[in-house]
Amino acid sequence: MHTAYILLGGNIGDRKQHLENAKQHILFYCGTITQQSSIYQTAAWGVTDQPDFYNQVIVIDTLLAPEALMQSLLKIEQIMGRVRSQKMGPRIIDLDILLIDDLIMETDILSLPHPAMTKRRFVLEPLSEISPNKIHPVEKKSIALLLLECRDDLNVQKIYTKH
């Protein structure tokens, strides 16, 4: 059994409903959701001339190997209508694996931990909400400390509190 931390995001259509739909697909294809953060509205990162994103981090228990989990998440994006027409452009759903257990790995389809997570407030805010004491396997620092050290100043605002 693996514990995976997954970032969900999207900025097209009914953003909240798309996050809910993605979680239902994850339950069906990937494993059991054990924790979920609040939903955050975040300014677009990279290509900034687009609508704000809704982002949420979930934790799942999964029997899938890391690359199989990534393949399943890509399949879910496709099922939900994700079109990859512009790098960092608007999207209905985006599913990124942040961490799996304490694995450090690099393959053609997966880098663990996610290589940009420590530089992005929209990742660290929801992750810190549910796992502040989780230690980043490369940085050897807690998620809470990484959030304090994060220099990203894009707006990240909690809009829907977890239930």
Angle between helices 66-79 and 15-29 (to 10 degrees): 140
Domain boundaries, given as residue ranges, for the chain = 2-160
How many Å apart are CA 116 and CA 123, to the nearest integer? 9
**Which pTM value belongs to this model?**
0.94
Does residue 6 contact residue 62 with C-beta atoms inside 8 Å? Answer: no
Catalytic residues: 82, 91, 94, 96
The alpha carbon of residue 56 and the mean position of all alpha carbons in its chain are separated, in whole angstroms, by 6
Residues of the chain with pLDDT under 50: none
| Domain 2-160 class, CATH top level | alpha beta
pLDDT of residue 50: 84
How many Å apart are CA 46 and CA 26, to the nearest integer? 27
* pLDDT tens readout for residues 117-131: 999 999 999 999 999
* pLDDT tens readout for residues 26-57: 999 999 999 999 999 998 877 777 899 999 99
Which amino acid belongs to residue 55? N
Token pair in block for residue 108: 């053609």
Owner of token pair 């953003």: 15
How many Å apart are CA 161 and CA 33, to the nearest integer? 17
| Sequence-ordered alpha helix ranges (H) in 15-120 | 15-29, 66-79
